[in-house]
Each structure stands twice: as structure tokens, then as C-alpha cells.
Amino acid sequence: MNARLNIPYGRQTISDEDIAAVVDVLRSDWLTQGPAVPSFEQAVASYCGASHAVAVNSATSALHIACLALGVGPGDSVWTSPITFVATANCARYCGADVDFVDVEPDTANLCATRLAEKLERARQAGRLPKVVIPVHFAGLPCDMQAIHALSREYGFRIIEDASHAIGARYHGEPTGNCRYSDITVFSFHPVKIITSGEGGMALTNDPALAARMELLRSHGVTRDPGLMESKPHGPWYYEQIELGFNYRMTDIHAALGVSQMRHLDDFILHRDEVAARYHRLLKFLPLLRPASRPDRSSAHHLYVIRMPDALAGERHSQLFDGLRHRGIGVNLHYIPVYRQPYYQRLGFDAKDFPQSERHYAVSISLPMYAGLSALQQDQVVNALHEELGS
């Protein structure tokens, strides 16, 4: 029996500069609401080419205030992909809206623009069009944004890109996050994502009104801008709560880590590209399907998801999972389709409506993928796959 490995599916890469940046904040006057948050917002906005960025304490919070800023409320419908983390759907439920799902493309597991078009046509006839659609750039590969954007024009919905996997990805040569084909783009800085701030998220937009609304909502709905107040300021202490907002603020401690991580972003993406290219070569002779790509876009490679051939779905899928985990290889499954969660089951979804999502769930495995993954570790993963698959 080989020695047990210890290779997670994803993990952060933290440098001495990252640590020094956080320590600097701890020694400074501001632990929160200081200069690091606007610096982080500026760094991400300028990297992505968006005019505004609003940093918050998680991507979940960013999705919530993005929905609210777009006016999502009771009676509205928000559509997303079932192959995502539950937060992408939950944000609509927080606003009292209904959620529905659009099945995915069989090879990329991204929201399928063709299925979306069909579902929109049926929804138009039923008089129940969505207010917002949230495409998820699964594993870091951008969705077919041009097609989804064209549909938004035709059917009058707004778009939030859930780019939690995709900072550093490119679509038609331009960075994800520039919001060319969406109203708002959301990033996550959870430690397994491409860059981290510990916990954290950000909402990018080119619309100053949406940015202002999200800034208000992240901090209690409170303003110090006399232009937005209902009364004349009573004095220099005066502020007004003009909306029901939240405390979704990011701290300067988190933001300083984020700023420092942004300096490594291009290196992280390069390394992830290399890991993906190497898996692609090494897995060629195994009875597995490797992740699909598209010629007009590049992935940030948040995840490296292989699929077993349909014939090996079911028990073999679960066995391979067990075998790899047993060896200390932290494989994972992204994702259990959201409609399968008991909370969503109670809302009445039928798995038969989402055959490609079901298939994805039956055959997918996320292999270890992160910027610090070494060639040796990768070889160990590939060798384990060979042994488990008996090839």
C-alpha cells in the first residue's frame, strides 16, 4: 500500500508579501473602513476594465445586493444554472423572489443559451419572464455571454454574472468582470477561489446608479451624502438611513490581503494554465473526458473537472471517488444540482427537467487544481487515477 497523500482539491497560495500586507493593516489606524478597501476595489476594477467595484464580505452578499440593486423582489423570477453553489440561487430567495433553473451545456456545464432561449419563449407565452438571469462561469470558463446578452435584449431581463470561479478568465480577448455583456459581475475571494481575501466578494458594474445602490446596501442603507438625504443635515454628526441595508462590509484586514493577492493574479492564472495543460496531456490515455474549452475564451481554471464515460456512471463513479479519497487525494464534486437540495425540492423541482445537469452530476469529479500544486503532486494524482481505473 502506498503512503497516504495529502492533496486537497483546492487551496490558497499565500506569500510573505501577503502576510506583511495584513500585518501592516493590524499596525495601522484602520482595521475596517480605512484605505485598503477602496484600494482593493480600484485594483480589481482596473484589472477587469469595469468602472465601479463594491467590495463586500462574501460573494453571497455581493449576489444578494446585486439582486436588490436590480430591483428583485417578491413576485419576480430569477433564473440560474443548477450546476453551481447554492448561493447563486439563494440570493434570489433572500429577496423573496422565485428561482428557476436552465439546464447546462453537456461539455462545459455552463448555462446553455439554447435551452435558455427555449425556456424564455415558453415563459413569454405563459407571461412569466425572469427579471434577472445569473450565468455561472463554471470552473472558470466564461459562459456564452454574447448569446445570453442578445436574449436579454429580446426578452428584457437583466444579467448578473456569477464569476466566483472566473477572475482572470477572458472572453473574446477581454477580461471577465468588464460587464460588457452584463449589468453586474460578482467575484468570490474564498480561499479555494483564484485569489483570496480570507472571506470576501466584490460586485463590479459600469452603471454608477447600481454601484451607488450596492454601496448603500452593504452598509445599513446609511448615507452621509447630503444630496441623498431627506432632511437638511442637523449638524456635522448627521447621517440618514434611507433604505434597509445590511452590514456586508469587507474589513481592511481582508482587503489588504486581497490587494496583495491581486499582484499575483496573473502568475496564479499562468500556473493554473500549466496545471490544466499538463493534466490534459497526462490524462489523454485514460477512459475519461477532459474539460471542454472554447476557442473564443480562456478559463481561469478554478476547477479541473473530469467526467467518466456514461457507461461508468453510478457505482464506478462513487468507487473512483472513494478510491482517490482513500489515497489522500481530495477530489470533490462540483456540484450537486441545486434543485436536488431538500430546500429546493420543497419548492417543487423535477430532476427530469434537467437531463444534462443530472448527467454532469452522475459522472463528474474535480481533481486537485490550485496555483501551488506541484508537478510531483500532479503525477501522484494521475498515477492514482491509472491504478484506480486499472489502466
The reply to whether 131 belongs to the active site is no
Contacts to ligand PLP from residues 268-327, by CB under 6 A = none
CA neighbor of 193 nearest in space, from 252, 140, 141: 140
C-alpha to C-alpha distances, 148 to 83, 115, 134, nearest whole angstrom: 17, 11, 10
> Of the listed 119, 131, 193, 284, which one is catalytic?
193
Helix (H) or strand (E) holding 118: helix 113-126
Which is closer to ligand PLP, CB of 136 or CB of 324?
Answer: 136
Radius of gyration in angstroms for the set of CA atoms belonging to the chain, rounded to a whole number = 22
Q: SS3 of 218, please?
A: helix
Min CB(182)–ligand PLP separation in Å: 15
Of the candidates 105, 162, 252, 358, which one interacts with ligand PLP according to CB under 6 A? 162
State the residue for C-alpha cell 442578445: 150
C-alpha to C-alpha distances, 385 to 13, 286, 287, nearest whole angstrom: 25, 8, 10
**Single-letter residue type at 322:** D
Is 165 an interacting residue with respect to ligand PLP (CB under 6 A)?
Answer: yes
Is 131 an interacting residue with respect to ligand PLP (CB under 6 A)?
Answer: no
C-alpha to C-alpha distances, 77 to 12, 137, 268, 292, 305, nearest whole angstrom: 35, 21, 37, 30, 30
Of the candidates 7, 36, 43, 59, which one interacts with ligand PLP according to CB under 6 A? 59
Give the burial class of 313: count Cβ atoms within 10 A of its Cβ; 0-12 exposed, 13-18 middle, 19 or more buried: middle
Which is closer to ligand PLP, CB of 102 or CB of 283?
Answer: 102
Which is closer to ligand PLP, CB of 58 or CB of 366?
Answer: 58
The DSSP bridge partners found for residue 52 are 205
Is 177 an interacting residue with respect to ligand PLP (CB under 6 A)?
Answer: no
Min CB(193)–ligand PLP separation in Å: 6
Min CB(83)–ligand PLP separation in Å: 9
Question: Residue 348 — φ and ψ, nearest 5°?
Answer: 90, 45
Q: Of 52-60, 69-77, 256-264, 346-354, which segment contacts ligand PLP by CB under 6 A?
A: 52-60
Is 12 an interacting residue with respect to ligand PLP (CB under 6 A)?
Answer: no
Is 85 an interacting residue with respect to ligand PLP (CB under 6 A)?
Answer: yes
Q: Of 35-43, 160-168, 254-262, 314-322, which segment contacts ligand PLP by CB under 6 A?
A: 160-168
Q: Report d(CA 182, CA 135) in Å as an integer.
A: 10
Helices (H), 240-291: 252-262, 265-282
Min CB(63)–ligand PLP separation in Å: 7
For residues 160 and 186, the answer to whether their CB atoms sit within 8 Å is: yes
Min CB(128)–ligand PLP separation in Å: 25
Is 248 an interacting residue with respect to ligand PLP (CB under 6 A)?
Answer: no
- Longest CA span, the chain: 77
Contacts to ligand PLP from residues 183-222, by CB under 6 A = 188, 190, 201
Q: Where are the beta strands (DSSP E) in 57-109?
A: 77-80, 98-101
Min CB(248)–ligand PLP separation in Å: 11
Is 77 an interacting residue with respect to ligand PLP (CB under 6 A)?
Answer: no
The DSSP bridge partners found for residue 312 are none
Is 164 an interacting residue with respect to ligand PLP (CB under 6 A)?
Answer: yes
- Please identify every residue annotated as catalytic: 193
Which residues contact ligand PLP by CB under 6 A?
58-60, 84-85, 87-88, 136, 162, 164-165, 188, 190, 201
